[in-house]
Structure 1
Amino acid sequence: MHGLHGSLRRFGLDRVAMGVSGLCLVHCIATSVLLALMSAAGSVLLDPIFHEVGLMIAIALGALALGRGVLEHGYMMPAVVGAFGLGMMAGALGLPHGGGEALWNVLGVGVLAFGHDLNYRATH
């Protein structure tokens, strides 16, 4: 394997996806803290497009990494767990901005990261 595909495979697409999940978690917590400290800064970070684009990236990485995992190791559980986390994150988009939305996003990101971890363990 050569090029980008080989590099991603060696590094682990699941690890990349878990890193992005971590960034999402940091974003959710930072937004809550910044919102409490400075409402002006919070309005930029709470822009719906920010969350919608983030969810699209999470769905794309999840489909690639978790789908590849099912094809490689044959276990559906990591993909099911990851899809549940993505569903929690998507559902949070429909909630009003605030503590409830942040809580469901953080929980969804955690469940998604757990699915990626299960996938990584099953593959390696």
Structure 2
Amino acid sequence: MGSITPWIRGRLDRVGVMLSALCLVHCVLGLVLVAGMGLGGAFLLDPDIHRWGLLLATIIAGVAIGVGAIRHRRAKPFVVAMTGLTFMGGALAVGHGFEEAVLTMIGVTLVAAGHILNLRHG
């Protein structure tokens, strides 16, 4: 059992980085398509996408980075990722628009950085 935990955590960290990158692309594309061309606003800016994304990011980061912090006894990946999740939560509070996109992009970048730090310490 001890050897499978790092494997699962590593996989979750990689999934977390990939989802963070997809979220970042979603934010940038949303800004370009909606603001620049007036396209896709109903889908790209749907609040449910952001709520589900935050929930998924919280679960994956909580498990992968939480287990990693316990195993390698380093708080930095956890603190960085939780700061990112806080930015993502703050983005939900400001409503749609430029501020939401900026807060989300900062948040997902920090969450990805937390996963990368966790992988390096693993």
By the TM > 0.5 criterion, same fold?
yes
User: Between Structure 1 and Structure 2, how many residues are aligned?
Assistant: 120
Gaps of 5+ in 2: none
Amino acid at match of 2:105: V
**Structure 1: how far apart are the matches of 2:10 and 2:82?**
22
TM-score where L is the length of structure 1? 0.87
**Structure 2: how far apart are the matches of 1:85 and 1:37?**
27
Deviation by residue 1:18-66 (Cα, 9 ceiling, x = unmatched):
0010011011111111102443511221111111001000000010110
**Which residue number in structure 1 is paired with residue 30 of structure 2?**
31
Amino acid at match of 1:87: T
- The 1:115–1:10 alpha-carbon spacing in structure 2 relative to 1, beyond 3 Å, is closer
Fraction of identical pairs, as percent = 43
**Which residue number in structure 2 is paired with residue 22 of structure 1?**
21
**Structure 1: how far apart are the matches of 2:80 and 2:17?**
14
Amino acid at match of 2:91: A
User: What secondary structure is seen at the aligned counterpart in 2 of 1:12?
Assistant: helix
User: What secondary structure is seen at the aligned counterpart in 2 of 1:94?
Assistant: helix
| 1:114 equivalent in alignment to 2:113 | yes
How far has the Cα of 1:93 moved from its partner?
0.5
Deviation by residue 1:58-112 (Cα, 9 ceiling, x = unmatched):
0000101101101221111111110000000000101121111101100111111
Asked whether the equivalents of residues 9 and 68 of structure 2 are also in contact (C-alpha less than 8 Å), the reply is no
How far has the Cα of 1:11 moved from its partner?
5.5
Amino acid at match of 2:112: A
**Which residue number in structure 2 is paired with residue 104 of structure 1?**
103
Segments of 4+ moved more than 2 angstroms: 8-12, 36-40
TM-score where L is the length of structure 2? 0.89
Kindly report which structure 2 residues correspond to 1:22-61, keeping only aligned pairs within 5 A, or say none.
Answer: 22-61=21-60
Gaps of 5+ in 1: none
